[in-house]
Amino acid sequence: MQKFDEIYDAIVIGAGHAGVEACLALARTGHKTLVVTLSLDAIAFMACNPAIGGTAKGHLVREVDALGGQMGLAADANLLQIRMLNTGKGAAVRSLRGQEDKAKYHCYMKSVLERQPGLDILQSEITDILTEEGRVCGVKTAQGQTFGCRGIVVATGVYLNAEIIIGDFRQSVGPNGFCRATGLTASLLSLGLPTRRFKTGTPARIDGKTVDFSKMTIQNGDEELYPFSFMTDGFVPNKRPCYLTYTTQKTKEIIFSNLDRSPLFNGSIKSVGPRYCPSIEDKVVRFADKERHQIFIEPECEDTDELYVQGMSSSLPVDVQIEMYRSVTGLEHCKIMRYAYAIEYDCIDPTALAPSLETKAVKGLFLAGQINGSSGYEEAAAQGIVAGINCSRYLDGKSPIVLSRDSSYIGVLIDDLVTKGTNEPYRMMTARAEHRLHLRQENADERLTPIGREAGLVTDERYARFVSKLQELDDIRAALKEKVSSAQVAAFFEYTGADGNAAGCMYGDLLKRAEVDAKLFKSFFPRFENFSLRNLEEAATEVKYAGYLDKQKSFSEKMKKLDEKPLDPSIDYSSIRGLRIEARQKLDKIKPLTLGQAARISGVSPADITVLMVWLSRSE
C-alpha cells in the first residue's frame, strides 16, 4: 500500500470558478478537503471579462446560489454595476448581468476558502492522479509530494499545456501570464480519458485616462434590481458606468489588410474556438457586409483606470492591435495596458463522463468546468458545485444527484455535454433549454433549494427564508383565485384606462392582463398590499403564462417517462438488430443510463429509439 505525505477525503485540482464551488461543497458537507492551485493569486480569477451573469448565465448563477453555492454571494458583494438583459422580451429569457471588481472578487473568494473549516489550500502543480483497482487513491505534485484521497475533482480550466498567442509570438503560460500545468494531460490520457485542443481569447485592456468617453454612449446600471443571491437583502447600488461605442470602416480595413498576419487565418491556430464569442477579426470576416460592430468599454476594478474592451478579442500582432483599437470611436488616442491574446489548451471529450460528472473510466474521479469543453465562469461554477456534491455523495456511499433538463439550466448544460458532446467551447444559451419558461431566474430556489438541502449545502437560515417564501406564494396564489367585487373591478378599469367585463372576475383575471403589472396591482388592491412585491411579481408571471407553462409541464411529463426507463450500462448495442450502424456506435460510446438520455444522443433517431424500446420489452 502506497505511503502518502497526508491523507484527505477529497482533493480538488484547480481553484478557478469550478474548483472553488467543488471544494466548498465537499468541505461544507463534512469532508476533509485539499484544494491545489497553480497560484494562490489565481483563485476565482476573472481571466477574461470582469462580469458575472449574462444571457442564460444569470440563470446559472441563481441556480448555483439556490443549491447553496458561493458565486451569487460573491457577485453581489463585489458589484460595480448590475443590469437586467432582454427586458424587452419575455420573462423566460431575462437575465442578470453584473459588472464586477475583479480584484476584490478574487480576494473575497480567497478569503472564503481560507476561512472554510475542513479545507486546506496548497499552491502547487498536480502531475499525476494515482489509482488502485480502477479507483482514485491520491495525487502526486511536481515537487514529489503525494496526497492520499478517495475522491478527486479535476477543475483545471484552460491551464493544461496552455499557450498564449499574439501574432507570431507564442508563450507557454496560462491566462494573464500565470503558470500553466504541464504534467496532468498525460496522466488523464493514461487513465483512458480522450483529450482535444480548444482555443479561447481575450481583448486588450486599455488606460481609461486615454479614452474619450464624450464620443460614446453611457451605459448606466439598472436601479432596484434583485441581486444574484437569494440571501442578499435589498438592492445593490451601481458604482461605475460602462460605455457603448463602435468599430469603424477603418477598423475593418486594418483587419482585412492584416489577415495574413492573423494566427486564426494563416494556419498558426489549428484548435477550435468558441462560435458564440468570436474574435473581432473573425466577426469582421464572417459579417463582411456589416459596417460596424458594438464595443463595450467596461471597468475592471473600482480603484483602477484599466478598462476591458468587450467585443474586441483578438490574436493579431501588437502593432496591428494598436492601430486597430485606435480606429474605434473614442479610442483614437488609447494606450494599451495589456495586449489581447488567444490561448490554446487541453480539455477532454465530455462524453467520457456520466451525468454525475464522474468519469466512466475511473471511480471517484470527477471533472468540472472548462476541462469538460465548456466556456464561461458561470458554466464552470455550475459544474463545480454538481461535481463537488456528487464527489461528496460518492464518499458517503450515496447515489449521485443528477439534475434533469426540466429542473434547471445546470441540468441542460451537463446533459448537453455528457450526452451530445461538443466540438467547440460550449456556451449556455436560453435557446438550449426547451423548458426555459419554467426555468426562470426568480424560481431557481423553488426548483433547486430542496435539492441543495438534501445535499447538505443549504443552511438553516437559507432554508427558513425559502420556506417563508413558499408560504407567501401559496397565500398569493390563493388570494388570486378570490372574486373581486364589480365595483372594485370598475374602479380598476377606470384607474388603468382598460376595457373589460366587470362581472364575476377573480383577482387573477385582472393580473393576467398584459397592461397590468404586479406593482400597479399591489398599489391598487388592499388585499395584496402586505405581500412582498418580489413574490407577487413571480405569481404574476405564473398567471400571465399559465397556458404555456401547462404545455411545458405536459411535455416534461412525457419526457420524464423516457428518463425513468433505465438502461444497463453493460448493454451491447452492436448486437441489437434493427439499430442503424451510427446509432450502435454512438450508444456504445455514450452508454446512456436512461432511454431519455439515449434519445438525446446526436445520431440516434426516433426510429432507433423505437427499435430499442421493442428490444427492451422483449428482454424484460
Q: What is the DSSP string of 544-576?
A: HTHHHHHHHHHHHHHHHHHHTSB--TT--GGG-
- Is 287 a domain residue? yes
- Is 555 a domain residue? no
**Do 168 and 250 reside in the same domain of the chain?**
no
Q: From residue 355, how far is each of 27, 192, 276, 512 by CA, in Å?
A: 22, 18, 25, 39
How far, in whole angstroms, is CA 519 from its chain's centroid?
31
pLDDT tens digits for range 274-320: 877 789 999 999 999 999 999 999 999 999 999 999 999 999 999 99
Instruction: Collect all residues with Cβ–Cβ distance below 8 Å to 402 and sequence separation of at least 6.
Output: 355, 356, 411
What 3-state DSSP class applies to 80? strand
How far, in whole angstroms, is CA 219 from its chain's centroid?
24
> Residue 543: which region, alpha, beta or left (left: phi > 0; alpha: psi -120 to 50)?
alpha
**Do 142 and 288 reside in the same domain of the chain?**
no
Overall number of domains in the chain = 4
552 band by pLDDT with thresholds 50, 70 and 90? confident
Question: For residue 527, what is the domain's CATH number?
Answer: 1.10.10.1800
Domain boundary among 455, 484, 506: 455
Question: For residue 258, what is the domain's CATH number?
Answer: 2.40.30.260
Produce one character per residue of 314-351: b if its CB has 16 or more CB atoms within 10 Å, e if not. Answer: bbbbeebbbbbbbbbbbbeebebbebbbbbbbbbbbbb
Enter the DSSP assignment of 205. E
Question: For residue 588, what is the domain's CATH number?
Answer: 1.10.150.570
Statement: residue 15 has pLDDT above 70: yes
Position 561 scores a pLDDT of 84
**Phi, then psi, of 256 in degrees rounded to 5:** -65, -35
> Residue 302 has which C-alpha cell?
473600482
**Do 304 and 338 reside in the same domain of the chain?**
yes
Write down the pTM of the prediction.
Answer: 0.95
Q: What value does the mean pLDDT of the chain take? A: 95
CA separation for the pair 129, 367 (Å, rounded): 12
- Is 465 a domain residue? no
- Is 480 a domain residue? yes
**Do 53 and 187 reside in the same domain of the chain?**
yes
352 band by pLDDT with thresholds 50, 70 and 90? very high
- Is 559 a domain residue? no
Over range 436-464, report the average pLDDT: 97
Statement: residue 466 has pLDDT above 90: yes
> Residue 436: which region, alpha, beta or left (left: phi > 0; alpha: psi -120 to 50)?
alpha
Q: Return the percentage of the chain with pLDDT > 90, whole number.
A: 86
pLDDT tens digits for range 238-276: 999 999 999 999 999 999 999 999 998 998 888 888 877
Domain boundary among 313, 343, 373: 343
**Do 227 and 301 reside in the same domain of the chain?**
yes
Residue given cell 473549516 in the structure block: 117
Range of the domain at 259: 205-343
- Is 295 a domain residue? yes
- Secondary structure E strands in 247-317: 294-299, 306-310
Q: From residue 289, how far is each of 94, 249, 293, 301, 355 by CA, in Å?
A: 30, 11, 11, 36, 42
130 band by pLDDT with thresholds 50, 70 and 90? very high
CB 390 within 8 A of CB 354: no
**Do 529 and 422 reside in the same domain of the chain?**
no
CA separation for the pair 282, 277 (Å, rounded): 10
**Do 443 and 371 reside in the same domain of the chain?**
yes
Taking every pair of Cα atoms in the chain, the longest distance, rounded to a whole number of angstroms, is 83
pLDDT tens digits for range 496-529: 887 777 677 899 999 998 889 999 999 999 999 9
Question: For residue 451, what is the domain's CATH number?
Answer: 3.50.50.60
Helix boundaries (H) for 85-124: 102-114
- Is 193 a domain residue? yes
| Parallel, antiparallel or unpaired: strands 151-154 and 10-13 | parallel
**Do 162 and 26 reside in the same domain of the chain?**
yes
Position 617 scores a pLDDT of 85
**Do 183 and 229 reside in the same domain of the chain?**
no
**Do 232 and 148 reside in the same domain of the chain?**
no
- Is 482 a domain residue? yes
**Do 405 and 500 reside in the same domain of the chain?**
no
CA separation for the pair 89, 58 (Å, rounded): 15
Closest to 416 in 3D by CA, of 403, 397, 401: 403
pLDDT tens digits for range 201-234: 999 999 999 999 999 999 999 999 999 999 999 9
Torsion, Cα of 256, 257, 263, 267 (10° steps): 90
The residues pairing with 604 across neighbouring beta strands, listed in sequence order, are none
Position 128 scores a pLDDT of 98
Domain boundary among 549, 580, 611: 549
What count of other Cβ atoms lies within 10 Å of the Cβ of residue 485?
10
Statement: residue 1 has pLDDT above 70: no
Helix (H) or strand (E) holding 12: strand 10-13
CB 60 within 8 A of CB 381: yes
**Do 33 and 159 reside in the same domain of the chain?**
yes
